[in-house]
């Protein structure tokens, strides 16, 4: 028969009691912090998983910021191109009017004034900015790309700092980049300005031969600008889809993250309640067992 | 049987019961003494007296002469002791490992916002911001610099903390060695006293043996010892074959530090940075394979060294990778022109200086540095200055910054083809798993040890109820013996005073 000694009873009571208290403390901590673990070693696998998810969420935010900035940038570009197309259409109407044989040189001079105004407007548009950045000058975002001169040479319109054809990239995911800018050269602003100057000169000189070709020239430009606009539109769509994707991913990741490290409140409260019972019972049993010895029955 | 023999018998009975009662008292007094083993009086009948008679010199059997205490027994199971000592070594080793690995974990402090992972994230995030905010003022560039400084300072700090922790573990080892020597001396001294007492075979040095066994248990927790008892009940203790307690002499366990050159995983030689503890007894090299000292050495010379190595690797790779990209770039005011004989593709400016985690820092060169000169962050891949305003015209293209931001996901051969973040997370999770293993081992050892201690208590522990029962037994024994004397007294009274 194995002997049981008083010390054995007390020490086993104490160790059970401490364990119960430890558990109570653990559940309490989990409930008050809302997190299942406070140290990696508590649950190494889940902790590292949570860390990974947190990083993914953080960089998702960056990618969304990148994409949203790209969208804004492209919106400005799109508005500018829209403006260019509308202006070119007006100029086309003028070209149609000016080519009409019934026009007098005086009438044509009036049209010339309008053309000059519209050309100036187009140069303004070509110098559009997003924030502080010139959107049609590639990498030279600080530098105004075009200036207004009266020349039929396309290169004469280039500003003091020169033109840049660089593409500006934004990252939309690990290793995935997208161009956010359209360069002035792609749209052919220089040629547009030069041709408009030719238009204006022809109006001034009553050069009907040139005026007759002008409509076709402007149509060509409208087409190429529309082509650039279509590109912008498709990039906008891609960026918007990216934002949507990241936003729904974020919800999914946040949910997984919560499951990985968050406390399951209902479960933990149940466990806490259960442990509370164990704790009470341990106390009650301890009080009963430890107290009486034979001494209580001897006089 | 003589006339007064009965009184003598009664006296012996009284003395024996009284002594036994004393032993019970001693047991009760030590009920809460953890080192104590309960004692039992072994009662034995005294030599019987042979009655002589006329026809038969041996008479009708023998007449008893009473009782005496033959010995006082110490209730102890040597086998359990051996097992407790053995499990104590494992417990010592794993609890030390667990405690100290936890310390490393708190040096890393990874789940906190300030962990290396978060700072790496922030560092790379700020480069993303730089890509987007090319032409605004220097505020984004400043935040790049600040995040970089936070990261490097933290790497420096962890490296220094690990080094300090390594030193701390060293002094802990030395302290434990001193404790071993102190325990060995005390055991030898107790051996001496026990030998003197037990050279009389009827005597047992029970309480001294308790004291000594407790010291041996303590010693077993620190180093892996083997214990052998000789015929004088002296404990001879050896450490993997080398005697540290031989009877009444204790041999000093000595340590020395051997400085070592060590080559890191990626082939960098560290001269005399790492050192190793070597132990000896009487000039012979001693092996320590378990116990607290072994646990401390394992943490110090395996885990901390390895972690420092990996931290250095992380820092070194970060320096190399970021610099390699950054050197290809141009800052805001890096312009082509006479005197600026840039190498092919870039101004060759380093973003980080240093070689490992102990000295990594953001380039703080007074002329060509980055700290205090945010314009010097070389984020643009090209430079020109056609408008002669003293600034790089091509600043809108920040693809160098983008390349640095993309380093985050790059799998780097030097890091075992993982990214910076994954490499670090592997470190952290390895440590976490190591800790949970140590925790599990410690708790297993603890359960084993507790159950063995229960077993020891079963044999050696004092049960108060039992002692009270014994007490009543001896009390009644005493009263009865006294009654025997009274009856003999009355008998003698009848004999002496009644016959006249």
Record the tokens describing residue A130, joined without a space.
């997003």
Residue A55 to residue B421, Cβ atoms within 8 A:
yes
Distances (CA, A) of B409 to A10, B238, B419, B493: 57, 55, 6, 111
My answer on whether B67 and B191 are in the same domain is no
Distances (CA, A) of A273 to A36, A161, B461: 17, 74, 36
Residue B397 to residue A166, Cβ atoms within 8 A:
yes
Q: Are B240 and B65 in contact, with CB atoms under 8 Å apart?
A: no
Global pTM reads 0.83
Residue B406 to residue A171, Cβ atoms within 8 A:
yes
CA dist B119 and B158 (Å) reads: 13
Q: B121 to chain A, minimum CA–CA distance in Å?
A: 7
Record the tokens describing residue B496, joined without a space.
């002496």
My answer on whether B45 and B118 are in the same domain is no
- For an interface test with A, the pick among B37, B97, B397 (most A C-beta atoms closer than 10 Å) comes out as B397
My answer on whether B116 and B51 are in the same domain is no
My answer on whether B127 and B52 are in the same domain is no
Percent of chain B with pLDDT over 90: 59
Q: A293 to chain B, minimum CA–CA distance in Å?
A: 6
- Using the Cβ of B436 and the Cβ atoms of chain A, whether some distance falls under 8 Å is answered with yes
Q: B122 to chain A, minimum CA–CA distance in Å?
A: 9
For residue B170, being part of any structural domain is answered with: yes
For residue B18, being part of any structural domain is answered with: yes
For residue B370, being part of any structural domain is answered with: no
Q: B387 to chain A, minimum CA–CA distance in Å?
A: 4
- For an interface test with A, the pick among B132, B430, B443, B472 (most A C-beta atoms closer than 10 Å) comes out as B132
Of A169, A171, A294, the CB nearest to B469: A294
Record the tokens describing residue B173, joined without a space.
């080892």
Question: What backbone torsions phi and psi does residue A207 show, to the nearest 5 degrees?
Answer: -85, 85
My answer on whether B35 and B85 are in the same domain is no
Record the tokens describing residue B143, joined without a space.
């935040």
Return the residue of A nearest to B422 by Cα: A52
Residue B425 to residue A3, Cβ atoms within 8 A:
no
Give B337's strand partners. Answer: B340
My answer on whether B35 and B135 are in the same domain is no
3-state secondary structure of A262: strand
Of A44, A65, A131, the CB nearest to B433: A44
Mean pLDDT of A207-222: 89
Of A15, A38, A164, the CB nearest to B450: A15
Among candidate residues B197, B265, B429, the one with its CA nearest the CA of residue A39: B429
Record the tokens describing residue B314, joined without a space.
């992380």
Record the tokens describing residue B67, joined without a space.
């009782």
Q: Check residues A251 and A162 and name the one with the higher pLDDT.
A: A251
Domain of B215? 81-302+416-452
Q: How many CA atoms within 13 Å lie on the side-chain side of B249?
A: 6
Residue B402 to residue A169, Cβ atoms within 8 A:
yes
- Rounded to a whole number, what is the largest CA-CA distance in chain B? 153
Residue A44 to residue B435, Cβ atoms within 8 A:
yes
Does the structure show a pLDDT above 60 at A284? yes
For residue B290, being part of any structural domain is answered with: yes
My answer on whether B62 and B166 are in the same domain is no
CA dist B352 and B404 (Å) reads: 13
My answer on whether B14 and B161 are in the same domain is no
CA dist B198 and B233 (Å) reads: 7
How much is the pLDDT for B487? Answer: 93
My answer on whether B128 and B262 are in the same domain is yes
CA dist B290 and B296 (Å) reads: 10
My answer on whether B35 and B100 are in the same domain is no
For residue B402, being part of any structural domain is answered with: no
Q: Are B375 and B394 in contact, with CB atoms under 8 Å apart?
A: no
* H or E stretch at B486: helix B464-497
Q: Are B193 and B205 in contact, with CB atoms under 8 Å apart?
A: yes
Mean pLDDT of A5-9: 81
For residue B268, being part of any structural domain is answered with: yes
Of A62, A132, A170, the CB nearest to B136: A132
Does the structure show a pLDDT above 90 at B409? no
For residue B165, being part of any structural domain is answered with: yes
Residue B135 to residue A166, Cβ atoms within 8 A:
no
- Chain B contacts of A169, Cβ < 8 Å? 131, 399, 402
Residue A161 to residue B432, Cβ atoms within 8 A:
no
For B186, counting Cβ atoms within 10 Å of its Cβ (0-12 exposed, 13-18 middle, 19+ buried), the class is middle
- Chain A contacts of B135, Cβ < 8 Å? 131-133, 141-142
For residue B466, being part of any structural domain is answered with: no
My answer on whether B140 and B156 are in the same domain is yes
Question: What backbone torsions phi and psi does residue B462 show, to the nearest 5 degrees?
Answer: -95, 125
Residue B395 to residue A137, Cβ atoms within 8 A:
no
pLDDT in tens, A65-111: 999 999 999 999 999 999 999 999 999 999 998 888 888 888 888 99
Record the tokens describing residue B105, joined without a space.
């974990």
Q: Which domains does chain A have, with CATH numbers?
A: 51-255 (1.20.1330.10)
Residue A170 to residue B380, Cβ atoms within 8 A:
no
My answer on whether B180 and B68 are in the same domain is no
Torsion of CA A195, A201, A205, A210, to 10 degrees: 0
pLDDT in tens, B348-400: 889 999 998 999 999 998 888 899 888 889 888 888 888 777 888 888 888 89
Does the structure show a pLDDT above 60 at B20? yes
Band of residue B55 on the pLDDT scale cut at 50, 70, 90: low
For chain B, how many structural domains are there in total? 2
Mean pLDDT of A247-252: 90
């Amino acid at each position: 028969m194995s002997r049981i000694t008083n010390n054995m009873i007390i020490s086993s009571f104490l160790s059970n009691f401490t364990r119960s208290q430890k558990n109570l403390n653990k559940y309490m901590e989990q409930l008050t912090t809302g997190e299942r673990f406070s140290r990696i070693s508590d649950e190494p696998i889940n902790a590292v998983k949570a860390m990974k998810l947190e990083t993914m969420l953080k960089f998702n935010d960056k990618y969304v910021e990148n994409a949203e900035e790209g969208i804004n940038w492209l919106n400005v570009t799109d508005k500018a191109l829209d403006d260019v197309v509308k202006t070119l259409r007006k100029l086309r109407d003028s070209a149609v009017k000016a080519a009409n044989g019934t026009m007098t040189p005086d009438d044509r001079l009036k049209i010339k004034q309008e053309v000059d105004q519209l050309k100036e407007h187009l140069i303004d548009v070509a110098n559009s900015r997003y924030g502080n950045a010139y959107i049609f000058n590639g990498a030279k975002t600080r530098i105004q790309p075009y200036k207004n001169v009266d020349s039929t040479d396309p290169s004469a319109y280039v500003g003091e700092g020169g033109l840049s054809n660089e593409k500006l990239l934004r990252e939309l995911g690990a290793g995935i980049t997208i161009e956010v800018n359209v360069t002035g050269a792609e749209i052919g602003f220089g040629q547009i300005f030069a041709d408009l100057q030719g238009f204006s000169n022809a109006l001034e000189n009553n050069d009907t031969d040139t005026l007759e070709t002008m409509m076709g020239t402007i149509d060509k430009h409208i087409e190429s600008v529309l082509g650039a606009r279509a590109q912008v539109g498709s990039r906008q769509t891609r960026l918007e889809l990216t934002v949507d994707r990241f936003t729904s991913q974020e919800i999914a990741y946040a949910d997984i993250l919560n499951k990985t490290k968050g406390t399951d409140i209902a479960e933990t409260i149940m466990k806490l309640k259960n442990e509370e019972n164990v704790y009470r019972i341990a106390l009650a049993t301890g009080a009963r067992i430890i107290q009486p010895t034979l001494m209580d029955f001897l006089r | 049987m003589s006339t007064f023999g009965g009184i003598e018998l009664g006296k012996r009975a009284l003395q024996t019961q009284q002594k036994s009662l004393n032993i019970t008292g001693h047991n009760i007094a030590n009920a809460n003494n953890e080192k104590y083993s309960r004692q039992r009086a072994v009662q034995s009948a005294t030599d019987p007296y042979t009655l002589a008679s006329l026809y038969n010199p041996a008479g009708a059997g023998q007449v008893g002469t009473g009782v005496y205490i033959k010995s006082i027994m110490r209730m102890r199971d040597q086998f359990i002791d051996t097992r407790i000592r053995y499990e104590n070594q494992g417990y010592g080793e794993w609890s030390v490992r667990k405690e100290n690995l936890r310390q490393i974990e708190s040096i890393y402090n990874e789940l906190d916002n300030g962990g290396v992972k978060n700072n790496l994230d922030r560092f790379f995030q700020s480069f993303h911001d730089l890509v987007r905010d090319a032409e605004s003022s220097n505020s984004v560039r400043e935040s790049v610099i600040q995040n970089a400084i936070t990261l490097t300072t933290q790497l420096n700090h962890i490296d220094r903390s690990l080094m300090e922790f390594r030193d701390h573990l060293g002094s802990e080892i030395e302290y434990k060695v001193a404790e071993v020597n102190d325990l060995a001396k005390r055991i030898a001294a107790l051996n001496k006293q026990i030998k003197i007492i037990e050279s009389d075979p009827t005597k047992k040095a029970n309480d001294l043996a308790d004291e000594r066994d407790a010291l041996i248990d303590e010693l077993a927790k620190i180093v892996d010892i083997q214990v052998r008892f000789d015929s004088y009940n002296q404990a001879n203790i050896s450490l993997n074959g080398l005697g540290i307690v031989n009877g009444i002499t204790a041999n000093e366990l000595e340590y020395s530090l051997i400085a070592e050159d060590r080559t890191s995983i990626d082939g960098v030689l560290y001269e005399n940075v790492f050192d190793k503890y070597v132990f000896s007894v009487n000039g012979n090299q001693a092996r320590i394979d378990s116990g607290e000292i072994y646990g401390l050495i394992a943490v110090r010379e395996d885990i901390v060294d390895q972690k420092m190595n990996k931290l250095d690797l992380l820092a070194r790779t970060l320096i190399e990778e970021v610099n390699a990209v950054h050197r290809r770039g141009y800052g805001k005011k890096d312009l082509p022109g006479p005197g600026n004989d840039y190498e092919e593709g870039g101004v060759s400016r380093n973003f980080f200086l240093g070689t490992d985690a102990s000295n990594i820092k953001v380039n703080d060169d007074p002329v060509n540095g980055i700290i205090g000169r945010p314009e010097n962050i070389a984020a643009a891949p090209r430079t020109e200055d056609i408008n002669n305003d003293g600034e790089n015209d091509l600043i809108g293209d920040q693809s160098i910054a983008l390349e640095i931001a993309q380093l985050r996901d790059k799998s780097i051969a030097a890091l075992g083809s993982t990214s910076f973040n994954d490499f670090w997370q592997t470190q952290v999770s390895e440590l976490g798993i190591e800790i949970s293993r140590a925790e599990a081992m410690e708790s297993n050892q603890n359960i084993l040890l507790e159950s063995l201690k229960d077993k020891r208590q079963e044999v050696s522990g004092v049960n108060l109820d039992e002692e009270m029962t014994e007490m009543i037994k001896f009390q009644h024994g005493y009263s009865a013996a006294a009654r025997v004397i009274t009856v003999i007294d009355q008998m003698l009274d009848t004999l002496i005073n009644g016959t006249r």
